[in-house]
Structure 1
């Protein structure tokens, strides 16, 4: 995270999460693609946030709540295809936000629903004032995690070589007081070390920590000078957000017709959206075909916002994604499909029947 003037800050500490288990014999490039994409939401999802003001230890002042609302607005103002809606019940929220002093953190992307299903448990915390320049970047940073973006300084393309003893000593001291496992998880550890799809290192990313001089051996320009990213969302942050969450219109989406296969002609990380308008009320099957890693999610259009109905993620497994559900004549549904990777043939399809 970033600030205009360098000080030794308290910084984000991600929860320790075990990697999702994939097929034992999975190809390393396929695994890398899955890991790169697996925590992202399908585009055009309405995401809901809730402030846990009913729990005294998690309660925040109104100016702190407003700073978080403003940060959600800043992400939305990029023109991304996600919507952010504040709700009055924890059970309706994917993001449940508290303000316990000391540490700021968030679960990453879909971990918010996959790992924290209990509506009484928070998925995001802010531990210091969000009305300062550094605090505003903190809010943007934690929301970035909730959208599925990891720490940028752990990008395997960064090429950062750490003075590991100095890093461990620095983060064991004020103001973070981290043990070695926490420091390793949040700084030393590299994400997706295989040669996988991903953006180049962006030292100005909102997802990047700032670092004191003396912690980095390479790049040499930061040996004797602090690494302090520029404030706010970087150009590459915006590019990555729009890559995963483009704001394309429903008028561009094809219609899925029963018993007609639709060829999937997209690249890894890209998404297709389909419209389904049943002529008959009955149970329908929706399934992908081919050696593909995909996630498919079905929503119903109720004129206010799309309502989640069902989903399936076949990434890293040897089966195809499938949904079987009763659909009603006269209603409109949206199927969203994101591709992780394609098999040796590079071809696949999806069918409604």
Structure 2
């Protein structure tokens, strides 16, 4: 993560999370696409954040809260399809933010709800001052994780070859005091060992750590000098955020009607959105068909705000995404579908019944 001179050794410490289990003997390219996309939110999601001020061990002063609000606003000002809304109750928030001293971290993307469903538990922490240049980058960095973006220095396309002994020794000391597992998880580990249609290495990414001289053996040029990213969001950060979360608010979404299938012919990472207006109140089934890896998420329109109702993710498995839920006549719902990868045919279908 980017730092200033006086804070060069303080780093984001991601929670240790076991990789999601996929089907045995899964195709390597398919696995890579799933890993690249799996933690991203579906676009047009309203994400709520809550400051855990009711707990003395997690409360922060007003200036720190405002720095986080400003960082959310900076991401939003990229004209993204995501919304960030501050709420007054933890139960309403996907992101629950504390200010316990010592370490800054966040769960990555959908892990915030998949792994931390208890609304009394935090999903993000800021352990140092956010009003400095370093602190502002810290806030942007952790929110980037919450949006689903991993550490950039762990991008396998970076081609970084570590002086592993030096890396482990450096992070075992002050002020991090990481054990070998933490250092491996946050530094040495590659996000994906396979070739994936992701971005090339961005050494200036907000998601990149700064590294002092002596830790990197390759690429050439960093053996004897530090790697210091430029401050703020890089051009590639902005490009990647807009790629996964495009604004396109004025697109007319097709309507899902009972027993009428929709052809799904999109590329990995792309998303389709549908509107559902039930003509009678009953339990409906929504399911994908074909050999595609998808995630589907159902929202209800509540006076212009999309409220999450249910979702299913079939990526890396041999079944199809399916939601069964009672829908009410007179209300409007949105079904959002993100594609991970396609089967041999490259197409699939979606049906409501």
Q: Normalising by structure 2, report the TM-score.
A: 0.98
C-alpha distance in structure 1 between counterparts of 2:300 and 2:7, whole Å: 49
- Could you list the structure 1 runs, at least 4 aligned residues long, displaced by more than 4 angstroms after superposition: 4-7
C-alpha distance in structure 1 between counterparts of 2:178 and 2:282, whole Å: 56
Contact 1:162–1:216, Cα closer than 8 Å, also in 2: yes
Q: Is 2:207 the partner of 1:203?
A: no
C-alpha distance in structure 1 between counterparts of 2:97 and 2:189, whole Å: 26
- Structure 1 residue 278 displacement after superposition: 1.8
Structure 1, residues 131-184: CA drift from partner, whole Å, max 9, x if none? 000000000000000000000000000000111111111111122111111111
C-alpha distance in structure 2 between counterparts of 1:152 and 1:338, whole Å: 23
Deviates more, 1:154-163 or 1:328-337: 328-337
Contact 1:4–1:230, Cα closer than 8 Å, also in 2: no
The 5-angstrom pairing of residues 209-224 of structure 1 reads 209-224=209-224
- Structure 1 residue 222 displacement after superposition: 1.1
Contact 1:278–1:327, Cα closer than 8 Å, also in 2: yes
Q: Name 1:183's counterpart in structure 2.
A: 183
- Structure 1 residue 304 displacement after superposition: 3.6
Q: Is 2:318 the partner of 1:329?
A: no
C-alpha distance in structure 2 between counterparts of 1:304 and 1:53, whole Å: 28
Q: Name 2:247's counterpart in structure 1.
A: 247
- Structure 1 residue 5 displacement after superposition: 4.7
Structure 1, residues 41-68: CA drift from partner, whole Å, max 9, x if none? 1110111111111111111111000000
The answer for unaligned runs of 5 or more in structure 2 is none
Contact 1:98–1:125, Cα closer than 8 Å, also in 2: yes
C-alpha distance in structure 2 between counterparts of 1:281 and 1:53, whole Å: 41
The answer for unaligned runs of 5 or more in structure 1 is none
Q: Name 2:92's counterpart in structure 1.
A: 92
The 5-angstrom pairing of residues 303-314 of structure 1 reads 303-314=303-314
Deviates more, 1:125-134 or 1:253-262: 253-262
Q: Is 2:292 the partner of 1:292?
A: yes
C-alpha distance in structure 1 between counterparts of 2:155 and 2:71, whole Å: 24
Q: CA RMSD in A?
A: 1.2
- Structure 1 residue 308 displacement after superposition: 1.1
The 5-angstrom pairing of residues 262-301 of structure 1 reads 262-301=262-301
C-alpha distance in structure 1 between counterparts of 2:295 and 2:17, whole Å: 21
Contact 1:46–1:84, Cα closer than 8 Å, also in 2: yes
C-alpha distance in structure 2 between counterparts of 1:79 and 1:118, whole Å: 31
In structure 2, relative to structure 1, the CA distance for the partners of 1:308 and 1:7 (3 Å cut) is closer
Contact 1:3–1:230, Cα closer than 8 Å, also in 2: no
Equivalent position SS for 2:274: strand
Contact 1:285–1:323, Cα closer than 8 Å, also in 2: yes
Structure 1, residues 71-111: CA drift from partner, whole Å, max 9, x if none? 00000000111111111111111101111111100000011
Deviates more, 1:281-290 or 1:223-232: 281-290
Contact 2:81–2:249, Cα closer than 8 Å, also in 1: no
- Structure 1 residue 254 displacement after superposition: 1.3
Deviates more, 1:327-336 or 1:243-252: 243-252
Contact 1:4–1:231, Cα closer than 8 Å, also in 2: no
Q: Name 2:38's counterpart in structure 1.
A: 38
Q: Normalising by structure 1, report the TM-score.
A: 0.98
- Structure 1 residue 250 displacement after superposition: 5.1
Structure 1, residues 256-295: CA drift from partner, whole Å, max 9, x if none? 1221111111101111001111222222211101001101
Contact 1:6–1:228, Cα closer than 8 Å, also in 2: no
- Structure 1 residue 305 displacement after superposition: 0.7
Deviates more, 1:55-64 or 1:322-331: 322-331
Deviates more, 1:103-112 or 1:242-251: 242-251
C-alpha distance in structure 2 between counterparts of 1:34 and 1:232, whole Å: 28
